[in-house]
Amino acid sequence: MIWLSHMKTTIDIADRLLRDAKREAAQRGTTLKEVVETALRNHLEGAKPAAFTLRDGSVDGRGVQPGVEEGDWEAIRALVYEGHGA
């Protein structure tokens, strides 16, 4: 990604994090700005949500029970709650 314009801004960063970032910049022989921009860019690029895939929840059933018509929700509901007082 190419960034064409620059904007000055002020942000509050924890002292220890700022010291670590400055140390990292010195070790790399680059600027604090470059370290912060690179870290922010990497974070934002990695923050894109992955495509959602629904897990296969299939079961090896044999359909509805004998005497229950498929789509007969009243009968299915009665069987589900049978013995549960509802």
- pLDDT tens string 24-60: 999 999 999 999 999 998 888 887 777 888 888 888 7
pTM (predicted TM-score): 0.49
Following DSSP, what letter does each residue of 21-84 receive, concatenated?
A: HHHHHHHHTS-HHHHHHHHHHHHHHHTSPPPP----------SSPTT--TT-HHHHHHHHHTTT
Report which of residues 36 and 71 the model is more confident about. 36
C-alpha–C-alpha distance, residues 35 and 85, integer Å:
64
- pLDDT at site 1: 58
Task: Please give the pLDDT value at position 80.
Answer: 86
